[in-house]
Amino acid sequence: MTIWDLHVHMSGAPGATPTERMAQLIAFADRMGIERLCVYMGIPWSKDPPPETFRKENDQVLEAIGKFPDRTFGFVYLNPKHVEASLAELDRCVARGPMVGVKLWVAHRCNAAELDPIIKRAGELQAVIFQHTWLKVTGNDPGESTPFDLAELAARYPATPIICGHTGGDWERGIRAIRAHKNLYADLAGSDPVAGYTEMAVRELGPERVIYGSDAGGRSFASQLGKVLGAQISDAAKQLILSGNLRRLITPILQRKGIKA
């Protein structure tokens, strides 16, 4: 099966430079048969980065993907608290640069109005949009979005695909929260490999709305692949989850940029 990983960070990988870290990640990915890695955010992480910080992190990603263009896709990290700077960065890295997606993390909850111009512009560019979400019974961070927040955003942009990062972590609630919004996709990455996760996602969303990601280097490629390879679903569903769905979402922007994959 062809495997593309939606959710990879250089943080947590060994190496002194972005290029070294990316090389290490690719070496581990090779062991697991993973062909492509979507990479976002730099080193160190910043939860609420000012523009100069997210630009620096994006420069690190640009360096890393520049060395491995046949193996990586870059997503631009933005902060909706800085709308104009984020739009400028989106244009720098995606419209004029080699990146193909957008990463939104925990600076600002995603149901806020500040997200609107970013989602509109990303939609125009056909960039893949990834929004982190969690539903922690121990309490989310102040700017950390929930799948319910993302459902509000998705309802404002029903024609724009958006990926629900981690599916809220508490996936039994997260899957339900996004179920009605057909433009929302479930990211399997970055939580314990609890059995039943993938089966429920496929049952409730359909296999075409579920996407494999690992959250490596903090997580293991292996532990997260186990969620798909160990799931009691059809091989056809596994192939959609492991690469087919991401390929379908990312193909329009790749074609615009003349990137073959």
Partner 1 sequence: MTVDFPRRTFLKSSLAVAALATPAARAADSTRAAGLGLVDTNVNLSRWPFRRCPLDEPPALVAKLREHGVEQSWAGTFDGLLHKDLGSANARLAAECRAHGNLLVPFGSVNPKLPDWEQELRRCAEVHRMPGIRLHPNYHGYKLDDPAFARLLTLASERKLVVQLAVVMEDERTLHPLVQVPPVDTAPLVDLLKKTPGVRLQLLNAFRTVRGEPLLRLAAAGAHFEIAMLEGVGSVAGLTKQLPAERILFGSHAPLFYFESAVLKLKESIFTPEQDRAIRSGNALRLRA
| CB distance 187 to 163 below 8 Å | yes
Our measurement of the distance from residue 42's CA atom to the centroid of its chain's CA atoms, rounded to an integer in Å, reads 14
Helix axis angle for 197-205 and 221-229, nearest 10°, is 50
Full DSSP string of 123-187: HHHT-EEEEE----TT---TT---HHHHHHHHHH-TTS-EEEEGGGSSHHHHHHHHTT-TTEEEE
> At closest approach, how far in Å is the CB of 217 from partner 1?
5
Residue found under tokens 């997200």: 115
70 binds partner 1 (CB under 8 A): yes
For 6, the enclosing helix (H) or strand (E) is strand 3-8
Q: Which stretch binds partner 1 (CB under 8 A): 19-27, 49-57, 123-131, 144-152?
A: 19-27
Segment 230 to 249, residues that bind partner 1, using CB under 8 A:
230-232, 238
> Pattern 132-171, binding to partner 1, x per CB under 8 A?
--x-xxx------------------------------xx-
Range in contact with partner 1 (rule: CB under 8 A) among 52-60, 157-165, 225-233, 245-253: 225-233
Site for partner 1 contains 15 (CB under 8 A): no
Q: Which is nearer to partner 1, 118 or 200 (CB)?
A: 200
Angle at 116 between CA 113 and CA 118, to 5 degrees: 130
Q: How many residues does the chain have?
A: 261
* Chosen residue from 47, 124, 156, 192 binding partner 1 by CB under 8 A: 192
17, 32, 51, 56: residue in contact with partner 1 (rule CB under 8 A)? 32
What are the φ/ψ torsions at residue 188 (nearest 5 degrees)? -85, 0
Position 71 contacts partner 1 (CB under 8 A): yes
Q: Is 33 in the site for partner 1 (CB under 8 A)?
A: yes
Considering the complex, state which of residue 25 and residue 129 has its C-beta at the smaller distance from partner 1. 25
Peptide linkage before 217 cis (omega within 30 of 0): yes
In the list 78, 104, 211, 225, the residue contacting partner 1 (rule: CB under 8 A) is 225
Q: How far apart are CA 59 and CA 41, in angstroms?
A: 9
Is 56 exposed, middle or buried, given 0-12, 13-18 or 19+ CB atoms closer than 10 A? Answer: middle
The answer to whether residue 229 forms part of the interface with partner 1 (CB under 8 A) is yes
The full DSSP string for 138-155 is T---TT---HHHHHHHHH
Asked if residue 35 binds partner 1 (CB under 8 A), the reply is yes
Residues in 101-130 at the binding interface with partner 1, rule: CB under 8 A: none
Q: Is residue 100 within 8 Å of 127, Cβ to Cβ?
A: yes
Bridge partners of residue 78, in order along the sequence: 104
From the list 217, 237, 243, 249, which residue makes contact with partner 1 (rule: CB under 8 A)?
Answer: 217
> Using CB under 8 A, which of the segments 78-86, 115-123, 145-153, 212-220 binds partner 1?
212-220
Binding site for partner 1 (CB under 8 A): 1, 12-13, 19, 23-26, 28, 30-33, 35, 66-71, 98, 134, 136-138, 169-170, 172, 191-196, 199, 216-227, 229-232, 238
